[in-house]
Amino acid sequence: MPYKEFEDVKLYYSISEVADMFKVNASLIRFWEKEFDIIKPARNKKGNRMFTKEDVENFKLIFHLVKERGFTLDGAKGKLKGDKLEMAGQIDLHDSLKKVRSFLVELKETL
């Protein structure tokens, strides 16, 4: 039986890991946690926030709306109350288009 490579997926991420993922300060993560009710991190015995993969996906939605598309916090809250799956699809499409654009720019530079 061939060896199958498993993807290393963590169950919980610390606040510093989440902040590094989005290249923001930990204080912004704490602020968004208070502002948006879709983010509910677990806490360990010491009281540290432990974010799940779902929390990270929610941060990705919020980051896209607020930082990339320029929504206000109230506007982002209203948009998230709508169809969250549609928003996730739009973000995936946006990320794919960014990758294609960077590939094309790189290709242009090599020619």
98 in any annotated domain: no
Q: What CATH number does residue 54 fall under?
A: 1.10.1660.10
Give, in degrees to the nearest 5, the angle at Cα 84 between 68 and 12.
80
94 part of a folded domain: no
Q: Please give the residue range of the domain that contains residue 72.
A: 15-82
Residue 6 carries which DSSP code? P
Confirm whether 42 is domain-assigned: yes
Chain segment 27-81, per-residue pLDDT in tens: 999 999 999 988 889 999 999 999 999 899 889 889 988 988 898 999 888 888 8
